């Protein structure tokens, strides 16, 4: 079987077939990868740079800035690591020619990754809404799978779109908040910003609801439209009818309804669909609109 094999000493890449191979040159861009379910609350990968136990490897074939789509091949780790391979001298290491055997090959022990059927693997992992997480657990990016192809060699080719396409929050003028409200608002917005790049859609919606509650409570108390903190659902009427902030009120009402859909009991009893990536994007954009409508955006 054809494998992608990597020298763990220098990260040079080889293509092997039945323990015989040659250098992949120029060396392709290889990135640690994980496949997780979008519904998971924390998408932080268990990936790291130890190739001998890394579950998946992504070969980057390029990024289109116009469509914001990334293309690449994905391989899974073989069970036994490292694997003995006989390879031709690598073009990047001319001195290896002195180590070749009588057949013109060099013996190496390489971390090996094999091609696999992506859709079958996702079913085996019991993943309903797959997300691809690239890089290690300290620095990583989250990508949605928008298309899957298979090459003539049986390799899985993925087309990915970055989670960073979810709308970013505008710059906030925290000086406009009362001192006793400022820290809580900063905390809630900070938690939402963090979740956009590491958490599942349910968690993003939850964080957006909490941020909306903190923002609207701060605004209405400051304007003396209410005299104590209330739940988000209770804030919609005074925000719409007293403060005359109709758009912000509509966004808050939407967030309250989205939040109820994250509850499994609500989904079952009311026949609601589960939260997905588009709901998460709407939730983040709603917070941006609330900030704008309430005058908290720094221009």
pLDDT of residue 164: 64
| Res. 45: pLDDT tops 90 | no
Query: Is residue 153 in some structural domain?
Result: yes
Number of domains in the chain: 2
Same domain for 158 and 186?
no
Q: How many CB atoms lie within 10 A of CB 215?
A: 27
pTM comes to: 0.64
For residue 82, whether the previous peptide bond is cis, meaning omega lies within 30 degrees of 0, is yes
Query: Which tens digit of pLDDT belongs to each residue from 107-164?
Result: 999 999 999 999 999 999 999 888 898 887 777 888 889 899 999 988 999 999 887 6
Element (H, E) at 291: helix 277-293
Query: Is residue 39 in some structural domain?
Result: yes
| Res. 59: pLDDT tops 70 | yes
Say if residues 248 and 290 touch (Cβ distance below 8 Å). yes
Of 176 and 266, the structure prediction assigns the larger pLDDT to: 176
Query: Is residue 169 in some structural domain?
Result: no
Element (H, E) at 266: helix 264-270
pLDDT of residue 167: 62
pLDDT of residue 215: 96
Same domain for 203 and 56?
no
DSSP SS3 for 164: helix
Same domain for 155 and 226?
no
Query: Which tens digit of pLDDT belongs to each residue from 141-154?
Result: 888 898 999 999 88
- Residues 122-128: contacts with CB within 8 Å, 24+ apart? 122/35, 125/35, 127/35, 127/36, 127/37, 128/37, 128/38, 128/39
Query: Is residue 86 in some structural domain?
Result: yes
Of 238 and 41, the structure prediction assigns the larger pLDDT to: 238
Same domain for 190 and 95?
no
pLDDT of residue 40: 74
Q: What percent of the chain has pLDDT over 90?
A: 56
pLDDT of residue 153: 86
Say if residues 201 and 279 touch (Cβ distance below 8 Å). yes
* Domain containing residue 287: 174-293
What mean pLDDT value characterizes the chain?
89
The whole-number average pLDDT for the span 273-286 is 89
């Amino acid at each position: 079987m054809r494998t992608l094999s990597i020298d763990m000493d220098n990260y040079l890449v080889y293509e092997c077939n039945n323990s015989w191979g040659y250098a992949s040159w120029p060396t392709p861009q290889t990135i640690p990868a994980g496949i997780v379910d979008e519904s998971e609350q924390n998408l932080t990968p268990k990936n790291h740079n130890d190739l001998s136990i890394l579950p998946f490897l992504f070969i980057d074939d390029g990024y289109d800035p116009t469509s914001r789509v990334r293309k690449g091949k994905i391989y899974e780790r073989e069970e036994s690591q490292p694997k003995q391979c006989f390879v031709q001298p690598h073009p990047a290491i001319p001195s290896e020619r002195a180590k070749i055997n009588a057949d013109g090959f060099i013996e190496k022990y390489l971390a090996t990754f094999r091609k696999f059927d992506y859709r079958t693997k996702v079913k085996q992992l019991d993943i309903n809404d797959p997300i691809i997480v690239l890089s290690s657990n300290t620095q990583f990016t989250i990508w949605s799978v928008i298309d899957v192809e298979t090459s003539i060699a049986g390799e899985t080719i993925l087309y990915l779109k970055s989670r960073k396409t979810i709308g970013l929050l505008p710059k906030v003028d925290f000086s406009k908040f009362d001192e006793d409200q400022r820290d809580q608002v900063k905390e809630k917005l900070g938690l939402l910003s963090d979740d956009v790049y590491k958490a599942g859609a349910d968690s993003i919606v939850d964080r957006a609801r909490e941020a909306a509650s903190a923002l609207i409570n701060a605004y209405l108390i400051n304007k003396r439209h209410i005299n104590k903190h209330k739940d988000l659902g209770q804030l919609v009427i005074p925000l719409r009818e007293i403060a005359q902030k109709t758009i912000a009120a509509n966004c808050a009402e939407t967030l309250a309804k989205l939040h109820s859909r994250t509850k499994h009991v609500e989904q079952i009893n009311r026949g609601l669909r589960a939260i997905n990536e588009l709901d998460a994007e709407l939730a983040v954009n709603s917070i941006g609109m609330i900030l704008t409508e309430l005058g908290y955006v720094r221009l």
